[in-house]
Structure 1
């Protein structure tokens, strides 16, 4: 089986246009858990690279920069890595609370694949910003809408819900729980917006 850029982009496009079918295929692949955790770590690192690139080509307003939000790359990796890892458990347990049937391994597979889609769109946005910041911004907004639609459907399939409303509630619960616990964990690790991890 050949795997090239066109194949990858076709898979990303299919996931956005047919998210439910794509979610089922990802879960049915039964990728080993160790490989999935490695994949999660990889997307965290790539995420940091793209964030840094976007900052370089589209710097934040001076007022925002003065608030001390500068972080080292290690700080970014720590924040994104901790958040993603906790978000996996957040989505899993939030779904269980809502009566979902998803497994932890299935949740991990869904999160890794969703992040892969998100990073692909983010990479496209970086290229578009270089061509035209306005076009890049519009693409970013469209991507956000597509990603929300995609993820809600992913979680709906993962937990076997019968409607998207339940999936949205599970996602909100997961986000709230993950944000709270991440804040505590990062505070213990000494990672924050005013300097981060050196």
Structure 2
């Protein structure tokens, strides 16, 4: 697999157009596990840097509201890496529980690849935030749609599921369930809301 930036960008564009084939090509690259872990860390760090850059470009009143969540790029990178790794485990375990055949190492590389594509969209959103702020909101909505589209196709390809629509419904139900569980776990630590 050619890891030059131009090749990765071309493959990212192809993946958005044909997600299952793109996922297959990424899995067939058969990168060693050490390279996958390094790529996960790189995606987490890059995502944190871009998030803090986008945060710095926000209006002062928004920055004051979100200051606690964006206290340190290092904390953001650790949280991002942890969330990505948790997503890999959920994709692997839930897919296997539903009869899928995907391997953990393939779930890992697909999550890294998904994050790479999302980082490209994040750069586009930051540029539009500077040049045309209203377009930035639209890019954000498009990014969410692309995320769900790619995730559903990646999970279907990973586990050998035929229906992307049923996989999408499974992804939505899993996201809701995970969100509910996280809320139950985190509520005691949040303190009073008023």
TM-score for both structures, normalised by structure 2: 0.83
- Distance of 2:75 and 2:57 partners within structure 1: 20
**Equivalent position of 1:129 in the other structure:** 129
SS in 2 for 1:30: coil
Q: Deviating runs (4+, > 3 A) in structure 1?
A: 1-8, 59-64, 66-70, 172-184
Paired with 1:4 and 1:63, the residues of 2 have a C-alpha distance of: 36
Q: Secondary structure at the match of 2:71?
A: coil
Cα distance change, pair 180–32 in 1 and its aligned pair in 2 (3 A): farther
List gaps (5 residues or longer) in structure 2: none
Whether the 8 Å contact between 1:48 and 1:76 is mirrored in structure 2 is: yes
CA contact (8 A) 2:148 2:168 kept: no
**Greater RCO, 1 or 2 (C-alpha within 8 Å, sep 6+):** 1
Q: 1:193: Cα distance to partner?
A: 8.0
The offset of 1:171, in angstroms, is 2.8
For residues 9 and 160 of structure 1, what CA distance do their matches in structure 2 show?
26
Q: What CA distance in whole angstroms lies between the structure 2 residues aligned with 1:109 and 1:67?
A: 32
CA deviation after TM superposition for structure 1 residue 52, in Å: 0.5
Cα 1:76–1:63 shift into 2, 3 Å: closer
State the superposition RMSD in angstroms.
Answer: 3.0
List per-residue Cα deviations over 1:56-87 (Å, max 9, x = no partner): 11247549717843432222122111111111
The alpha-carbon distance between structure 1 residues 28 and 169, as it changes in their structure 2 partners (threshold 3 A), is same
Match of 1:102 in 2: 102
The answer for the alignment partner of 2:43 in structure 1 is: 43
- 1:182: Cα distance to partner? 10
Q: How do 1:85-96 and structure 2 match up within 5 A?
A: 85-96=85-96
> Which has the larger displacement, 160-169 or 27-36?
160-169
Query: Does 1:58 pair with 2:51?
Result: no
1:143 CA drift (Å):
2.2
Match in the other structure for 1:28: 28
CA contact (8 A) 1:43 1:112 kept: yes
Q: 1:66 to 1:160 in 2, by over 3 A?
A: closer
**Residue-pair matches, total:** 189
The residue aligned with 1:165 is: 165
Aligned to 1:189: none
